[in-house]
């Protein structure tokens, strides 16, 4: 009976590899929103499920033993669907979510609740923006006047886009020296990002701190009180214990 990993993150790939080494049957599911995704080891499914009811049916039809939601911290829809589907199918669910970023001495961060809030703040904080919020949220910045945007994302975005922009198609991990060169080369004076967490893209925050730039950070969406862990090691241990016992109680929320 396989474990389903809802993936697309580095943590999901790392977990799939660890379970594969332990001979645990794993199916990794990717949303299919990235043209050339980094694939995990083992069986991979690409594409949506069609909502909670169909996901619940798929879980039953494929005899899924447990679900580990290791999607991006801002992937609200699939996480909500997973909660509803696993409840209907009586399938154990664990949330694996990397910790968010924390401010350090010298940081000039302003926190906002959503992308519209970030867009509204830009005119007061900067005129040349490194925008790293992902391609799906770019319409929120389409009406911002008086600012240049260096838009960095993995795949080409669909319009509408910021009026004055340059598109940079790139994928982490990024380095401090590379981010400093990007800031200096484009004379950037503001960074706008989501609180994605993790080391792969954290260098932009280090570079902003070193150059004294303000940063607008979009808070993560609130989560329900799922059973959750913050590290791959914890999720790996939970999965192994679940397989060994035939379904033990998940750990408490990691907060």
Q: Do domains 3-99+224-245 and 108-218 have the same CATH topology?
A: yes
CATH architecture of 108-218: 3-Layer(aba) Sandwich (3.40)
Residue ranges in the chain assigned as alpha helix (H): 10-21, 52-61, 76-89, 115-125, 176-185, 203-211, 232-245
For 19-35, the pLDDT digits (tens) are 999 999 999 999 877 76
pLDDT, position 247:
62
- Mean pLDDT by 10-residue block, N- to C-terminus, for the chain (255 residues)? 94 97 96 80 93 96 96 92 95 95 97 98 98 95 97 94 96 96 98 96 98 98 82 96 71 43
Q: The pTM is what?
A: 0.88
- Superfamily classification of domain 3-99+224-245: NAD(P)-binding Rossmann-like Domain (3.40.50.720)
The β-bridge partners of 110 are: 216
pLDDT, position 249:
47
The closest of 235, 246, 245, 253 to 13, measured between CA atoms, is 235
Q: Which two tokens stand for residue 185?
A: 């080369």
Percentage helix, strand, coil for the chain under 3-state DSSP, each rounded to 5: 35, 20, 45
Q: Where are the domains of the chain?
A: 3-99+224-245, 108-218
The β-bridge partners of 148 are: 128
**14 conformational bin, left if phi > 0, alpha if psi -120 to 50, beta if neither:** alpha
Tokens 């910045």, residue? 141
Q: Which two tokens stand for residue 172?
A: 């982490």
In contact, 78 and 6? CB cutoff 8 Å: yes
């Amino acid at each position: 009976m396989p474990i389903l990993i809802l993936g697309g993150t580095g943590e999901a790939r790392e977990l799939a590899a660890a379970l594969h080494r332990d001979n645990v049957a794993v199916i990794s599911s990717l949303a299919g929103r990235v043209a050339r995704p980094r694939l995990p080891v083992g069986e991979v499914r690409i594409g949506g499920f069609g909502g909670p009811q169909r996901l619940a049916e798929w879980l039953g039809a494929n005899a899924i033993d447990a679900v580990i939601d290791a999607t991006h911290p801002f992937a609200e829809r699939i996480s909500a669907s997973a909660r509803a589907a696993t409840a209907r199918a009586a399938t154990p669910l664990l949330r694996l979510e990397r910790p968010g970023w924390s401010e350090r001495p010298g940081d000039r961060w302003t926190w906002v609740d959503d992308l519209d809030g970030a867009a509204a703040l830009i005119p007061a904080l900067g005129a040349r923006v490194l925008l790293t919020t992902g391609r799906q949220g770019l319409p929120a910045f389409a009406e911002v006047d008086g600012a240049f945007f260096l838009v960095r994302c993995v795949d080409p975005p669909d319009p509408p886009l910021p009026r004055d922009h340059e598109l940079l198609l790139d994928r982490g991990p990024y380095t401090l020296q590379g981010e400093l060169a990007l800031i200096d080369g484009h004379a950037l004076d503001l960074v706008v990002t989501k609180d994605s967490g993790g080391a792969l893209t954290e260098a932009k925050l280090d570079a902003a701190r070193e150059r004294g730039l303000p940063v607008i950070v979009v808070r993560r969406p609130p989560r329900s009180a799922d059973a959750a862990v913050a590290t791959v090691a914890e999720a790996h241990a939970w999965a192994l214990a679940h397989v060994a016992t035939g379904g033990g109680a998940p750990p408490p929320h990691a907060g």
